[in-house]
Structure 1
């Protein structure tokens, strides 16, 4: 077995670091750069195979055992294992391909810095599992190709037939997979059988608290929310009736009813920046009012949360009435995580509106550009000695026989880790994950028996194994179509990327700091026009223009 490497990044001057998503970590995902102006035509081979139904690779991939290194930032998902090679799936994959994987796993919280250092030190693994929203090359991904770090996969399409089958199976996949200049810098990940933008996070409220204060229905409007939060404060003495991120603003779930988003968004193809809009001031006015009324967490700016989930002390000890949370934590899930109240029951809530008759909110963060696309992209090191073997190994994940095992557990675990439904498709055994005979915690079970967030994720693998009431959360949060979200695969040119980074890192920090000040009253909302003028002086209009140019090119692909 390979050594489990914890890649601790050394502190380096910021001028040397490759840009991550943004300065603060709570902003909307920003786009990777593209080296060319306009759209270049790249022909994707046709395929009669639908979504990797038939595995088109030949196995084993190599006759003599080969070791490839794999950047795999999953330290928070390994459970009690010491190496991902202890996973039954990766052991099965090694036997199938004859390729051993040496996992390079950065420490939790060090992922972005460690990723940057791979380029700074010119020490890239053969394969890199990345989230382009937070991990990307300084000058954009086309520049990473031009600078000789990352492979342009358009030159290898003939040896990646399973991935090509997916590009042909999803109408918008080819558009998303290529940059404006026609380059393909990685394998994008896909959801299987997704019909609209997937929401695995959203607004959660304590249903047991609602019952105690006599509320028989879920809040729909902001007025409903104020009434409910007030009851939580007065009748139950909840410390934080509404828990928000340390920046005071979440990922947009709660503010979307004001017709805006926390950062960049679009309306009918026109890019806007939330804090520049009057409605953003109106929303901050609401939050300031709730803060004064002690309906918000009084110490929100000191918490650790950047937008989803909460500090353990708060959530496990009945100190929170509502928050943004993950679908896996709905209903009574926190009881097994240590909640002191054995009646703990959280339920999903739709995004609020000003009035029940208002149009549906049009913004929320989605994981797939509405087109089955995940927010994960796997890159191949252009300086690696085994490029073709690495490509074939990654391509294998796009074949059904492989991705089913990656999502549910290997074939031989039928009846233990998974079972067949009446129509023959696999369903993960929820009871085994949470009440297995070995006494393993759920994170360790996931790491031991399947792959965490594989390149093809089958929605049912996570949702069908849940209790029905918990699984229903995903449908609640996906009710409204996120028309105003800017796709992750929008790309800027190298020059645009450099200019954007020059301004926006400081802008985002400034916005986050002032959000807190406006909410707490440390800065008067009477100064909001002056605040917006400062943003203009910091060149927010230039950033909006750059985002608009990138979106226009994306729409023209």
Structure 2
């Protein structure tokens, strides 16, 4: 597994400098696995544990609480411990997390993004007496989890702090190896960087124009011009956030760009072949990318509302037949859009397909692409309020066992899934359920969406499959995801590994990066929309340096060095 796994670093730094929960962060972290960080006994006799987790980690609107979830119900029964679920109200998880960790009475287990949400990060949470360093407990009380870390040391590196503390049971995306003919179990599945967003084009319009699927930037320009000539109002429509998240068009210039309006994954930064860090919006080739986007905008090929509209606006235009190409995010699904169009016009030829990001010249290997890190950044920490650490470990460890992991990923064998030719598949009672709801919703009553265990990408694909297709029809949902995740779309995920700033570094970094990123975002829209001439690009680069670019890169480099030395 690649070591290029992201943490939401920009957000983390802002949290370090601005959040006020849990007391002040200590600048001296406790020794790895320090016994003084333990909260309670290791008797292993408790019959109930309290667990705080956002209900948005469930996969269906059919259940409102983890206590109603059939998978979790069986999980509790098998592990022999009742879980007292404590769930924040919808949209209030961040606020509730801050309020809870500011007290001395915490739930036994808390599943959240500790590295980015607690001021000072996990080491500070341990030093402040909020959570337990797990080093001394997992081998004895969590044998399945311990075995997984031995088999996948990169995951151990992600959840080990700069001081050597293992702080959580993480959520990890995993997938059966492409070399395997059979579905793989928990420990054999490899950590997986999931891509879920990319370019989509209407193949019916390409066919009408006599054009193939566009490959190069020139091909894309030709296709968009053809769409405009045939009366398509918005040849390319998108939300700026999704355009930049997918690294559309920018990857052709071997750079990464920040996600507009939501710097998720810190994708403005990436690693070069030599391991050094670069900031995409400061590179010379960024000017070429901006010039291409400005060309599309100025010629009426790019939707003029791309900076202000949301995903709903774009999809409304798509369904109304006004768009030739756009950026799509699963699990909405291309099949779902097509069904909506056909419902209004059964004779419509509307046929969208996912495509690879374009290249400058045919034969070019794209480097950077969108992707979720295998370690999703959230994990279940055991708090110092827990009176029986052994039991809490046992409850969490069951999700790393073969039996427990199947329950959380697939539900109940014979009810929600069955094995067909060695692969788990949804049962007919899920696909053709009596409630008349989508299979993904019916399946979500049994499977969990995200949590502190290896999440099987195969079940995520099953939930996104288009079950309305007739035999022989192509499932464009799954085909698109395969393309966007493929090496042809890029070999390196945009972003940085799970680095963290020290307490004494965080304020300096946050001040410099916030000014830098705000300025870069403002200039992106100005350059693309023609409100600022690209003749001023060199001046723009000078301004980035004046705002502290060198300081930001140096602090990032130092943090990366600490990250690389975490687990030797």
Q: So what's the TM-score if we normalise by structure 1?
A: 0.80
Structure number having the greater helix percentage: 2
137-146 vs 221-230, which moves further? 137-146
In 2, are the aligned partners of 1:72 and 1:128 still within 8 Å (CA)? Answer: no
The answer to whether 1:201 aligns with 2:201 is no
Match of 1:91 in 2: 73
* CA distance in structure 2 between the partners assigned to 1:22 and 1:520 by the alignment: 31
Aligned to 1:471: 478
SS in 1 for 2:245: coil
Question: Are the aligned partners of 1:257 and 1:354 in contact in 2 as well (CA < 8 Å)?
Answer: yes
Maintained 8 Å contact 2:255/2:285: yes
Shift of residue 171, structure 1, vs aligned partner: 4.3
* Residue number among 302, 307, 318 corresponding to 2:321 in the alignment: 318
CA 1:118–1:426 in 2, change beyond 3 Å: closer, same or farther?
same
Q: CA deviation at 1:78?
A: 4.1
2:526 maps to which residue?
Answer: 517
Equivalence for 2:252: 257
Distance in 2 (CA, whole Å) between partners of 1:36 and 1:261 is 35
Is contact 1:34–1:140 with CA below 8 Å preserved after alignment? Answer: no
Superposed counterparts of 1:66-85, under 5 Å: 66-72=48-54, 74=56, 77-85=59-67
The CA distance in 1 between the partners of 2:271 and 2:74, in whole Å, is 44
Counterpart in the other structure of 1:410: 412
Secondary structure of the structure 2 residue equivalent to 1:68: strand
1:222 paired to 2:217 = yes
Q: Does 1:333 align with 2:339?
A: no
Report deviation, 1:228. 1.4
The 1-side partners of 2:228 and 2:479 are apart by 28
Measure, in 1, the Cα distance between the counterparts of 2:484 and 2:26: 33
| Aligned mates of 1:397, 1:113 — CA distance in 2 | 27
Q: 1:63 to 1:546 in 2, by over 3 A?
A: closer
Change (3 A) 1:63 1:183: closer
Q: 1:450-496 deviations in whole A, cap 9, x for unaligned?
A: 11124211122122562563323232122225336444423332323
RMSD value over aligned CA atoms? 3.4
Match of 1:444 among 428, 441, 445: 441
Match of 1:389 among 385, 388, 391: 391
Equivalent of 2:120 in 139, 142, 154: 139
Q: Which residue of 2 aligns with 1:292?
A: 298
Aligned length: 499
The equivalent residue for 1:366 is 371
| Structure 1 residue matching 2:449: 3-state secondary structure | coil
* CA-CA distance at 1:125 after TM superposition: 3.7
Contact 2:57 2:448 in 1 (8 A): no
Q: Does 1:496 align with 2:505?
A: yes
Please state if 1:537 is matched with 2:543: no
SS in 1 for 2:442: helix
Q: Higher mean Cα deviation, 165-174 or 236-245?
A: 236-245
Moved more, 159-168 or 95-104: 95-104
What is the distance in 2 between the residues matched to 1:515 and 1:258?
Answer: 16
Quote the offset at 1:79 in angstroms: 1.0
SS at match of 1:205: strand
* Deviations 1:273-309, CA, capped at 9 Å, x for gaps: 011111112111111111111221211122235xxx8
Give the CA deviation at 1:399. Answer: 0.9
1:459 aligns with 457
Does the aligned pair in 2 maintain the 1:204–1:349 contact within 8 Å? yes
Give per-residue Cα distances to partners, 1:120-176, cap 9 Å, x unaligned.
46665432333468x422222211221222221113222111111111112423323
Give, in angstroms, the shift of residue 335 of structure 1. Answer: 4.2
- Report SS of the residue matched to 1:287: helix
**Structure 2-normalised TM-score?**
0.78
Paired with 2:69 and 2:306, the residues of 1 have a C-alpha distance of: 39
Deviation at 1:260, TM superposition (A): 0.3
